[in-house]
Amino acid sequence: MAEAETILPAPVHATPVGRRRSSPLPPGALLIGVTLGFQGVTTYGFLVIAHRALGAAAYSPFSVLWALIFVAAPGLFLPLEQEVGRAAAARRVAGLGAGPLVRRALLLGIGLAVAVMALAGAGEAPLIADLFQGEGGLLAGFVVAIACYVLYYLSRGTLAGAGRFGGYASILLVEGVARIGAAVLLWRLGVTSGGAYGLAIGLPCVVGLAVVLPRQRRIAAPGPDAHWSELTSALGWLLTGSLLAQGLTNVAPLAFQALFGAAHRATAGEILNGLIIARIPLFLFQAVQAALMPKLSADAAAGRLEEFRSLLRRLLLLVGVVVALSVAAIALLGPPVLHLLFPSGHPLSRGDLVLLGLGSEGMMAVLTLAYATIALRGYRGATAAWVAGVAALVVTLVVLPGTLAKVEGAFCVSVAVAGIAMAAALRSRVARTARHRGAG
């Protein structure tokens, strides 16, 4: 599971006039939220076990693999999941089978996966030497994870589009159990290879699919031929924005390893551990997002602009409170919790944890604004905001002095710039939508 991944059911359609559901939330949203919480717990357990089994030196390049996987996999395949879910749900409402649509999406996903694998193969030598500190098994873990995640995200989108949220949640549960079970087994067997734990990142996804999918019949029934436009003409914008967003979310260990890894071999792992502590509120907030974001999307799709604004204001207020409380809690409790979960001879300082917390919790606000912008079809504006964040990251890395403080400061600045740009894009999109409604 991605560290800051926003996992949502397929956007729902407006309720027909004259019909009201007893709950304002779409079907399956709360179930997905609960399973997200469980998967977050198992993810934390997996990383704690990996840290203890590998030791600080071997865990550091493993942490780079973790960050790299969760830039590439959700960055490329999460938009595909969401678009498959949306398009399959539209076919289901129209009484049409989603089989041709899913097959076309599978071709696209495989093409993206093969391209990433080819790039990894072409850059094998520098990847192993500079990022993975000579551990070739970690590159194998990356390639296997990409192959697993393309099937994983496509299957989730197909289930969401078919309204099979029980199956969707079951995949998350089985995956989480399989991953932490693999970590425990490797630990008990005394395995100290980062490559073995790297394989345990992606392979549990396939275990979840193998257990759950055989029981989900007719989720991709025959239907009329699908065209590329059915997946959406905006998929390119969504893929670009998703990759940039995941890059910003996971940039800290990757940037440090690329810039200073040769002189500070264990620090990338310490940064990942600090992010794990800092992102506890973000994992918990995903349950709220899973419940409320589809409602936001439904209001936008139905033209209920006042309801959209009201829900967004409440959601952003909640985000503000969570950010403030989370950063205060990290400042107070972060160091002892970090030492408890990840005993180390060189733990991050309280100031380091606060900076990582500011960046991580700030991503909650940026992701909320991004989803609202996309719900109003502001694809270009959302992507431009992520580009602004990445540009700020590069400039800050060049300008700021230091080593670890440079990376942490660049992380916070990039999130702040992306948030400001995203708020501007959303405001412009809301105003444009209001004008169109007034003209109509």
In a domain, 198, yes or no: yes
**Can you read off the two tokens belonging to residue 225?**
């031929």
What's the predicted TM-score (pTM) here?
0.84
CB atoms within 10 A of CB 62: 30
Tell whether 199 and 253 lie within a shared domain. Answer: no
Is residue 168 within 8 Å of 159, Cβ to Cβ? yes
Average pLDDT over residues 61-85: 90
In a domain, 87, yes or no: yes
**Residues spanned by the domain of 436:** 233-440
**Can you read off the two tokens belonging to residue 69?**
């996987």
Is residue 245 within 8 Å of 75, Cβ to Cβ? yes
- The pLDDT confidence band at residue 416, using thresholds 50, 70 and 90, is very high
Instruction: Lowest mean pLDDT of 12-26, 269-283, 305-319, 415-429, name the range.
Output: 12-26
Which whole-number Å values give the CA distances from 398 to 75, 390, 409, 440, in the listed order? 25, 13, 11, 49
In a domain, 127, yes or no: yes
In a domain, 19, yes or no: no
Is the pLDDT at 86 greater than 90, yes or no? no
CB atoms within 10 A of CB 329: 15
pLDDT, mean over the chain: 85
- Residue 289's pLDDT is 63
pLDDT digits (tens, 9 = 90+) for 295-335: 777 777 777 888 888 888 988 888 888 889 989 999 999 88
Tell whether 257 and 376 lie within a shared domain. Answer: yes
pLDDT digits (tens, 9 = 90+) for 170-220: 999 999 999 999 999 999 999 999 999 999 999 999 999 999 999 888 887
Distance CA 287, CA 393 (A): 29
Number of domains comprising the chain = 2
Average pLDDT over residues 335-364: 85
Average pLDDT over residues 272-300: 73
Tell whether 244 and 345 lie within a shared domain. Answer: yes
Q: Which residues of 112-134 are buried (b: 16+ CB within 10 A; e: fewer)?
A: bbeebeeebeeeeeebbeebbbe
Tell whether 138 and 62 lie within a shared domain. Answer: yes
Give the end of a domain, one of 183, 218, 253.
218
Distance CA 419, CA 363 (A): 8
Alpha helices (H) along 302-348? 305-341
Tell whether 131 and 240 lie within a shared domain. Answer: no
CB atoms within 10 A of CB 417: 21
Tell whether 363 and 405 lie within a shared domain. Answer: yes
Is the pLDDT at 410 greater than 60, yes or no? yes
Give the end of a domain, one of 189, 218, 247.
218
In a domain, 244, yes or no: yes
In a domain, 225, yes or no: no
Instruction: Lowest mean pLDDT of 43-52, 232-241, 291-300, 425-434, name the range.
Output: 291-300
Give the end of a domain, one of 163, 190, 218.
218
Average pLDDT over residues 46-58: 90
pLDDT digits (tens, 9 = 90+) for 130-181: 889 888 999 999 999 999 999 999 999 888 888 888 888 899 999 999 999 9
